[in-house]
Amino acid sequence: MSVILYSREEVLEAIAASWYRGSIGSTDNLRYMDYLAEAGNRIMAANCQAWDATYSDKAEPEPDITGREIKGAIIVKTIDTQLRGMRVLRGLRYNLIANSGEDFATTQILDDLLGMFAAMLDKAERRAA
């Protein structure tokens, strides 16, 4: 098993791909974007830990994601970035586990990922209806 180190842009695309809440300007949604930014930062940190535990070269932590960047990623989302984001989201869970089997996904991170998958399912069900 190998670990893929995801970039900050890939994590941003994954978060934007899971956006389902409609308007991006409401106060509630802006607060939710801040929550998603924290989730993305937790996921990136765990991904770096899995990488570091698997390979001898250490991953350089990238700057934290902000709610404002998530808003920007949602605004510029295209079909291509949506598909890339969904593919990243699909692979994220497995890339939080080092080759040794050590799992760096906390309960909170698993909840974050589950929320993103649930959002994508909700979006797909609405389109199918």
Instruction: Read off the DSSP letter of residue 8.
Output: H
Write down the domain spans for the chain: 8-128
Is 3 in contact with 95 (CB distance < 8 Å)?
Answer: yes
Q: Given pLDDT bands bounded at 50, 70 and 90, which one contains residue 120?
A: confident
Q: Which neighbouring-strand residues pair with 97?
A: 103
CA 8 to chain centre: 9
Dihedrals φ, ψ of 77, to 5°? -60, 135
Is 96 in contact with 50 (CB distance < 8 Å)?
Answer: yes
pLDDT (tens digit per residue) in 3-45: 999 999 999 999 999 988 878 888 899 999 999 999 999 999 9
Quote the pLDDT of residue 121: 86
